[in-house]
Amino acid sequence: MSIVSTVKELALPITKSEGVDLWDVEFKKEGPDYYLRVFIDKDGGVGINDCENVSRKLDVVLDEKDPIPHGYILEVSSAGLIRELKTDAHLEKFLGRTVEVRLFKAIDGTKKIIGNLKSFDSENIIIEADAEKKIQRKDISKILIDLI
């Protein structure tokens, strides 16, 4: 199991107990340091206390389970106002909202489509822009939502 998968599994009960959603986890090397970033979300927005509480509890569990074989910096933060929709749960949460779909290759001369997220399944998403567009998920590099 990858570090990210393990941390997600360890973080999920903590985020649930704190009344927040686990949005995403990333583990990256930047310069000489490794960063473990945990992104959380909740209706009404995430506050500093939410981040502190999750960070403190997760730090204890990570020290106990020790899933990362070297030093790292733990950061817990809000998923942000502009965020990537990566999972079906993310897409479900924002059905009917305006999203920006970035593509690996141009479709109809563009690599970016902005429109309302109408529906999705395991193969495709449907965006209502000028007209309804069916986009294969394998052609999508990222889906962003702007909550500003």
Query: Do 89 and 128 share a structural domain?
Result: yes
pLDDT score recorded for residue 99: 96
Distance CA 101, CA 144 (A): 6
- Mapped onto helix, strand or coil, the DSSP state of residue 59 is helix
Q: Please count the structural domains in the chain.
A: 2
Q: Which residues pair with 60 in a beta bridge?
A: none
Q: In which domain, by residue range, is 9 found?
A: 3-80
Per-residue pLDDT tens digits for 12-46 = 999 999 999 999 999 999 999 999 999 999 999 99
pLDDT score recorded for residue 100: 96
**Alpha carbon of 113 to those of 5, 31, 107, 125, 133: distances in Å?**
31, 34, 9, 12, 9
Per-residue pLDDT tens digits for 95-145 = 999 999 999 999 889 999 999 999 999 999 999 988 899 999 999 999 999
Instruction: Give me the CATH number covering residue 141.
Output: 2.30.30.100
Per-residue pLDDT tens digits for 84-106 = 999 999 999 999 999 999 999 99
The first and second tokens of residue 31, run together, are 């310069």
Q: Contact at 8 Å (CB) between 114 and 98? A: yes
pTM of the model as a whole: 0.87
pLDDT at 148 over 90: no
pLDDT at 64 over 90: yes
Q: Contact at 8 Å (CB) between 116 and 54? A: no
Average pLDDT, the chain: 95
Query: Do 11 and 74 share a structural domain?
Result: yes
